[in-house]
Amino acid sequence: NAGVMQNPRHLVRRRGQEARLRCSPMKGHSHVYWYRQLPEEGLKFMVYLQKENIIDESGMPKERFSAEFPKEGPSILRIQQVVRGDSAAYFCASSPQGAGVNTEAFFGQGTRLTVV
Amino acid sequence: AQRVTQPEKLLSVFKGAPVELKCNYSYSGSPELFWYVQYSRQRLQLLLRHISRESIKGFTADLNKGETSFHLKKPFAQEEDSAMYYCALLTGGGNKLTFGTGTQLKVEL
């Protein structure tokens, strides 16, 4: 099992472009979480998805950000019309069931987005 | 609102010295706490969870509800302990982890 795979590892976008971040969960995992880490800050929860469903998007900015986890294929975090403030490391985690006290969430290595 | 505070950005100790990484939390519900570690160029991984009351790699952490703390301790630091450590609180009905800002532990020879 290769673990949670995120790509690309590094992404550079100009202001106004779209950024698409991909996350392939571990085999057998149907729950995906996205976190954002701004410089000098901790990881901040963005969204929790199960296959084809958004369960909790309370951490997602209201505009420009969207996430999906289709029946087939990776989970995608999409940022439209990127601005410099979107520059951050974006981490994905997956778990076989909802993360709880006895269920470990496994993290990917992250995608570092730089907006120029 | 829930919050996790790690007051130290960087902690530097000598090999063999005791280590204590501080973590305080704020949460109105019953807290479920974790420590995650990120070694250089590796992904974030779970170190230990309070409910297990386990010792991993010599590290322990005790939940102190009176002081709302979950400090990570190890009696004798090893060079391989050098890493970034994050304290995390499980909230949202068990759906999300709220992380602290992390403490970089540097163990010097």
B88-107 pLDDT tens trace: 998 767 678 889 999 999 99
Q: Contacts of residue A55 in chain B, CB cutoff 8 Å?
A: 95
**What SS3 state is found at B76?**
coil
Q: Which of B32, B89, B23, B19 is nearest to B58 (CA)?
A: B19
Question: How many other CB atoms are found less than 10 A from the CB of residue A109?
Answer: 19
A43-94 pLDDT tens trace: 899 999 998 899 999 999 999 999 999 999 999 999 999 999 999 999 999 9
B37-88 pLDDT tens trace: 999 888 999 999 888 878 889 999 999 999 999 999 999 999 999 999 999 9
pLDDT-derived band of residue A102, with 50, 70 and 90 as boundaries?
Answer: low
Report yes or no: B84 at the A interface, CB cutoff 8 Å.
no
Report yes or no: B31 at the A interface, CB cutoff 8 Å.
no
Q: How far apart are CA A101 and CA B10, in angstroms?
A: 28
Contact across the interface for B95 and A98, Cβ inside 8 Å:
yes
Contact across the interface for A108 and B92, Cβ inside 8 Å:
no
Q: Which amino acid is at A84?
A: R
Distance from CA of B78 to the nearest CA of A (A): 25
Residue B68 near residue B24, CB atoms below 8 Å: yes
**Radius of gyration for chain B, computed over Cα atoms and rounded to the nearest angstrom:** 13
Contact across the interface for A58 and B92, Cβ inside 8 Å:
yes
Question: What tokens does A102 get?
Answer: 């006895």
Question: What is the structure's pLDDT at B52?
Answer: 80
Report yes or no: A102 at the B interface, CB cutoff 8 Å.
yes
